Structure 1
Amino acid sequence: MNKEVILQDLGVKDYKETWDYQELLFQQTLDIKIRNRREERTLETPNHFIFVEHPHVYTLGKSGDVQNLLVDEKELDAKGAKFYKINRGGDITYHGPGQIVGYPILDLENFFTDIHKYLRFLEEMVILTLAEYDLKAERSKGETGVWLDVGTPFARKICAMGVRASRWVTMHGFALNVNSDLGYFDMMIPCGIKDKAVTSLNVELGKREVDLEDVKRKLLRHFEVLFEANFIKEKTKI
């Protein structure tokens, strides 16, 4: 089993361009697995982890309701935002500047074959990272992602998640609000969940800005421990 994970940080990159790149890596791994099965081979499958920051964009998962986007195309244009229907699970999500987006494209057969465990590990990675900033983050029953003050009238979401998997290969991932402009969340019903707020790390810490690179380093360290993996860096290809 290959426990190495190729790490790439794409910086600020258009959503559609990044989605296409994810699909390319995803399909390359699937092709290796299909070839292994057909030809009875044992070629090693790669694992990838992509960090990226997107310009303003709303994405709707395959089970989502477009009515959860509260503005029309003209209003999106005025805000400099785009909208895409995509092939991950979950409902509507916002990505934008100041948010850390992570796309693990893993062959889970290199780690464990359990999608629920995979999602719980991604949540745990974020929970442990936020604990380093003295924040008590939690899961909310029946609601994927990471929350603060669960079970109170002040419950608020700080990290959204949505994945796609085929033949145990994953894509899409998580979006952690760090220095996000929370006003953009007012243009949708986040994840289709009404009457619950959204927050970001800088708001919770009472800071103007939080160091994104510091947050990324913490996330990667916890990922390595949880998945018993090790990262290798690769130069950006797109």
Structure 2
Amino acid sequence: MCSTVITDQVRIMDVGLMPYRQALDLQLQLHAQRLSGRCPDTVVVCEHPSVVTLGVKGPANRLTVAPGLLATRGIDLVQTDRGGGVTAHNPGQLVFYPIIDLRARGLAVSDYIRQLETIGIVLLARLGLKAQTRKGLPGVWIGDRKIGFIGVRIRHGVTLHGMAINIANDLGIFDLFVPCGIDGLQVTSVQRELGRNIQMGQARDLLMQAIEQAWADGRPARKRLPEWLRRPAPTGRLYERTEQVLVDLGLETVCMHANCPNRGQCWARGTATILILGPICTRRCRFCSVATGRPSQPDPTEPMRVAEMAARLGLRYLVITSVDRDDLPDGGASQFRDCVVEVRKRMGPINVELLVPDFKGCQERALEVLRPALPFVFAHNLETVPELYPKVRPGADYKGSLALLRMAKEGFGVQTKSSIMLGLGETDSQVERVLMDLRAVGCDRLTIGQYLRPSKESLEVVEYVRPEVFEAWRVRGLSMGFSWVLSGPFARSSYMADSA
């Protein structure tokens, strides 16, 4: 079966039940046609015979049975180049694959992911379920049960892969692996939630309507940023090479998790800030888009993969950061240390910057654990003024963060660094006080940047601060004794770190 719906802005192809590998070949053909302008934006809608697919995030590809057992059950196993970890498709699950030119539609990758989630939520609402998104975990959820799965790949600005939504499929297939690589993740379906049979034809029609509604009108209405906060979509050969290396090695970057506006520029220079210790944080800071929850144990292969990345990209300056890991006795310091040691075994005396969490409750222990990784620039961000901590950074302690910077300066004698955001409702006098506090604990380097809302669950921007105000803060910081100050709308803690 194959039917096609053509609107002014998007073509929807319903190909019925199609083997996964055949659907992937179709996507690649359409992708090539879209790049050359020989076809419009297209969405392929289908179901698949039973298949387990692996994503590029190696640690998240965990089977609970031997691969050979899948074959004996008639289940195909396919390695893909999409994001994320292991998942499954089988009859009764609706899948749609958009082949869409993001640049032509003025969409950032984060906007695109939100649109996929919205399509899923609209479909489920029309089937009688109220679904939600979860911060930092792409997909659609019914409470704490996942029902919609997203894994995408962007090549030359055009999308591949897409979203799968469990309608009336056999959920037993998800017992054959750890879904998305997240321990304890529960999976559900429309049929399980409603307790009645669901007609796939009806669900398919409703999905196509939701897709048409989302994309038939062309470019989405977006709140326009001030002129000084607009940047072109990332592109270029070196950008794509950097992306491919990170994908191949299954490494996380703060560039993606924070939806950083500098990603295109940094990756085009062959630099990236590596996010270690997993993508799940034990804190719930409202300025951040990283997921909150129970993290997995540190991956012992991560230091080797970070070293491989540094070697492939020929890095001269490496920035390593992490989520908060309050669940670990040293706050994750040993993983920082091991990454640096492994990188230097491979690369020699590379310059390293560690952008660390606050090591709450274990600061002295964490610093001692880090000592074998010297020398490095020690960075820890205050993020905002103390008056806004209850709203912006609950769970953190302003004085504790200052104490960590002081201890690192006195104990290691290295360059120390911190960063704050403007635009959250702070006053000039409050910012001045933060700068004075940083100098009082010996902080050497400073970045000041514009807060940009990274997700719809994050805090709203109170003010877009003009470039000349940032310049005034740069001059003020230098006059106070900071040895290096980067202050501007796009300044971020690790942005242009190698220029200090």
Change (3 A) 1:29 1:4: same
RMSD: 1.8
Instruction: Report the Cα distance in structure 2 between the residues aligned to 1:67 and 1:216, rounded to whole angstroms.
Output: 29
- Corresponding residue number in structure 2 for 1:54: 48
TM-score (norm 2): 0.41
- Corresponding residue number in structure 2 for 1:233: none
* Conserved? CA contact 2:145–2:187, under 8 Å: yes
Instruction: Report the Cα distance in structure 2 between the residues aligned to 1:229 and 1:87, rounded to whole angstroms.
Output: 30
- Corresponding residue number in structure 1 for 2:85: 91
Amino acid at match of 2:203: V
- Corresponding residue number in structure 2 for 1:194: 183
Amino acid at match of 2:72: A
- Corresponding residue number in structure 1 for 2:11: 6
Q: Shift in Å at residue 67 of structure 1?
A: 4.9
Change (3 A) 1:67 1:121: closer
Q: Which of the pair has the greater relative contact order for Cα pairs under 8 Å at 6+ separation?
A: 1
* Conserved? CA contact 1:163–1:171, under 8 Å: yes
Q: Percent identity over the alignment? A: 38
Moved over 6 A (4+): none
- Corresponding residue number in structure 2 for 1:121: 115
Q: Shift in Å at residue 177 of structure 1?
A: 0.4
* Conserved? CA contact 1:178–1:212, under 8 Å: yes
Amino acid at match of 1:196: L
Change (3 A) 1:178 1:4: same
Deviation string 1:160-205 (CA, Å, 9 cap, x unpaired) is 0111112221011011101110111000111111112000111111
Match of 2:59 among 65, 90, 98: 65
Q: Between Structure 1 and Structure 2, whose CA radius of gyration is higher?
A: 2
1:98-113 correspondence to structure 2 within 5 Å = 98-113=92-107
Match of 1:217 among 205, 209, 214: 205
Structure 1 residues without counterparts, runs of 5 or longer: 33-43, 150-154, 231-238
Amino acid at match of 1:174: M
Instruction: Report the Cα distance in structure 2 between the residues aligned to 1:53 and 1:225, rounded to whole angstroms.
Output: 21
Instruction: Report the Cα distance in structure 1 between the residues aligned to 2:122 and 2:61, rounded to whole angstroms.
Output: 34
Change (3 A) 1:61 1:3: farther
- Corresponding residue number in structure 1 for 2:21: 16
Instruction: Report the Cα distance in structure 2 between the residues aligned to 1:193 and 1:168, rounded to whole angstroms.
Output: 29
Amino acid at match of 2:212: E
Change (3 A) 1:117 1:18: same
Match of 1:78 among 61, 66, 72: 72
Deviation string 1:9-43 (CA, Å, 9 cap, x unpaired) is 111111111101111111222234xxxxxxxxxxx
Change (3 A) 1:58 1:77: same
